[in-house]
Structure 1
Amino acid sequence: MSIRRLGLGALLLAALHLIPIMAAAAGPPHKAEVDTRLLIGEVAQIGGGSTEAWAGLDVRLGSGWHTYWRSAGDAGAPPDFDWSGSRNVADVTIEWPAPRRFTEQDIDTFGYDEHVLFPLRVRLQDKTAPAHLALKAVLFVCSVICTQQEAQLAADIPASTRQPNDQAQIDAWRHLVPRETSPGLSITALRLDRQAKPQLLLDVQASPLLVAPDVFIDGHDAISGGRVRVNRRSDGGLRFTVPVLGLDQAGPIDRLRVTLVDGDRSIEATLPVSAADTAPATAPATAMPHAAAASIWTILGIALLGGFILNFMPCVFPVLSLKLVSLVDHAPDRSASPRSAFLATAAGIIASFVTLAVVLSAMKAAGAQVGWGLQFQQPVFLVAMIIV
């Protein structure tokens, strides 16, 4: 009877885990509000007989949601664009409007909230023929939770430039893309200081004065800029000191891009980086396979240690002690061997987690916004767990 009650309790807990997950997947608080569309602008002749067109990926986000810049920062991921389904398109260049910094519990990320339009410079293969622009965009958006949104978009680019287009909207966002020059804003000195910790030193002249400046650093997926410190120089300019995070993990790189943003004003500069600036103490190339194998064994050892420690948690250890007591009190002459019960317990644990994985995978494949741990953000689930 006690085994049956334990089984029913396990089923109840599994149900309590799944019900709020399904509610989270369908409920408005956790559904990402993302609307994307492709805008088509003008078609123009450029030097060398080539033809280019302007387009824009327009992204509108619900209140409280944000997406990421080309460098996401401490978390998140930049957008991913796939143009492979396009026709009569030689290449597409993405322009990135100036980002803003989002800070949550000492975690800094860089991106956009509410509305952003990415200007797209489209170079055509045949200037006399229309083109078809097809985009598979993967956007990572965050609010209380983070989700991955995939959009399949397509638009036709006409051969004629006289048709109505969305160039005015595209141009408005192009003005927010940082350039190497900006009226009233200039970078007078830029260098990388590699003493105790890598930091970027940036001297700036601004007229009118900067109001709420911020500096962003990118050039490698592992690199980002920390929070800026600003000091006034004797010549009236400003000295920005920015920690460079992840430089030692990036390996050899050629340059860093530095973006200064102050409201609607922005400017971008490129800093060449020598091998001495980024050379951490690394093993030679011939030793990498052995190092990779050693790291895998390290990961497996830490995972095993974590599982061992888990057995001493208050939610697990009492259950183990009860099982051991029942094993000690086992009388072979009066009851069956406990081996089958232990095997059934192990099989039940594995089957429960496989079932959870299958259900979650099926829900994500169907387009639901779901992830493990969302149930702990649901008051109904927490109340049910307290009752249990």
Structure 2
Amino acid sequence: MARALLAGAMLAAFSPASWAASAPPVKVPGADVVLMAGAVSGTTADAGIELKLAPGWKTYWRYPGDSGVPPTLDWSGSENVARVEMEWPAPKRFADGGGGFSIGYKGAVLFPLKVELKDKDKPARLSLAFDFAVCEALCMPARADLSIALGGDAGAEGTRISAARAALPVERPLGVAEPTSVQKVELDASATPPRLVIEVKAQNPKADLFAEGPDRWALPLPQKTMLPDGAARFELPLDGIPAGTDPSGTPLTLTLVDGPKAIVTTVPVPKLPPR
């Protein structure tokens, strides 16, 4: 009898009547954090993390720029979840108050999640320990612990997750003939340190470019010069690379944010001349 009651309670915990498409928000100074569930298809589920930042507050992208702390996510408390991939909306550049620039988000941002289930026929729960930083005049660490069952009616939350995913930066090859594109990447070896000169096409005069290398690289933010006919040039010093590393041939991820549109182009660092 006791076993039957326990089994019934476990089933009820994952029954459609108990599902909610979003968990109650976790409030931290300067932000509310919400974990939401989307549609499930076979062993794949949609989910999302939404940060609603108070006016004047900000948080950071996966590469925070000259200062800041990227978020870390721990999914180890999840049930029947094999893997979670967080997807990143296009960020913005803003002054960090110390003469440099940070990369991140203001207002509200929704990070879509791709969730791979271990078994499509068993209940699944997504649990997250989310460590991040929020900043107004000063930055402070924040922690949100969130959990939600997967597999219910996603409703409006599912629609919002799909819309956020549709707005993510899209991959484009170098030199593609499109109005938002990275056209050319060249090496200026005469500079100290050597720098990359990156030419782009953009439709918005406030278009911006962000560059990421391997994990231990700390590249500066590219500096922009406007050119005629919707073109722009960004100069990226090859600084912040671990000592003794030859960057030649290393893939760089370039994210070009052009108003509501954003693209990602991966290029190898041109070969540096011997010293």
TM-score (norm 2): 0.77
Within the alignment, does 1:171 sit opposite 2:180 as a pair? Answer: no
User: In structure 1, what is the equivalent of residue 224 of structure 2?
Assistant: 229
Q: CA deviation at 1:59?
A: 0.8
1:190 to 185, 198, 210: 185
- Contact 2:87 / 2:111 at 8 angstroms: preserved in 1? yes
Aligned-partner Cα distance in 2 for 1:137–1:191: 39
Q: CA deviation at 1:190?
A: 2.6
User: In structure 1, what is the equivalent of residue 34 of structure 2?
Assistant: 37
After TM superposition, the structure 1 = structure 2 runs for residues 118-267 of structure 1, keeping only pairs within 5 Å, are 118-158=111-151, 164=155, 166-181=157-172, 184-195=179-190, 196-206=192-202, 209-219=203-213, 220-232=215-227, 237-249=231-243, 251=245, 254-267=250-263
Within the alignment, does 1:269 sit opposite 2:265 as a pair? Answer: yes
Aligned-partner Cα distance in 1 for 2:165–2:136: 27
**Bigger radius of gyration:** 1
Q: Which runs of 5+ in 1 are unaligned?
A: 1-30, 46-50, 282-388
Aligned-partner Cα distance in 2 for 1:75–1:138: 17
Deviations 1:5-49 (A, max 9, x none): xxxxxxxxxxxxxxxxxxxxxxxxxx822211101111124xxxx
Seen in structure 2, the aligned counterparts of structure 1 residues 213 and 58 have a Cα distance that, compared at 3 Å, is: same
User: In structure 2, what is the equivalent of residue 19 of structure 1?
Assistant: none
- Contact 1:38 / 1:56 at 8 angstroms: preserved in 2? yes
- Contact 2:182 / 2:256 at 8 angstroms: preserved in 1? no
User: In structure 1, what is the equivalent of residue 105 of structure 2?
Assistant: 112
Seen in structure 2, the aligned counterparts of structure 1 residues 68 and 249 have a Cα distance that, compared at 3 Å, is: farther
Seen in structure 2, the aligned counterparts of structure 1 residues 55 and 194 have a Cα distance that, compared at 3 Å, is: farther
Q: CA deviation at 1:175?
A: 3.1
Deviations 1:269-327 (A, max 9, x none): 112247x6599x9xxxxxxxxxxxxxxxxxxxxxxxxxxxxxxxxxxxxxxxxxxxxxx
Aligned-partner Cα distance in 1 for 2:231–2:136: 38
Aligned-partner Cα distance in 2 for 1:175–1:88: 27
Q: Which runs of 5+ in 2 are unaligned?
A: 1-27
Q: Whose strand proportion is higher, 1 or 2? A: 2
The alignment's C-alpha RMSD in Å is 2.8
Q: Whose helix proportion is higher, 1 or 2? A: 1
Aligned-partner Cα distance in 2 for 1:267–1:85: 34
Q: CA deviation at 1:240?
A: 2.8
Aligned-partner Cα distance in 1 for 2:40–2:180: 31
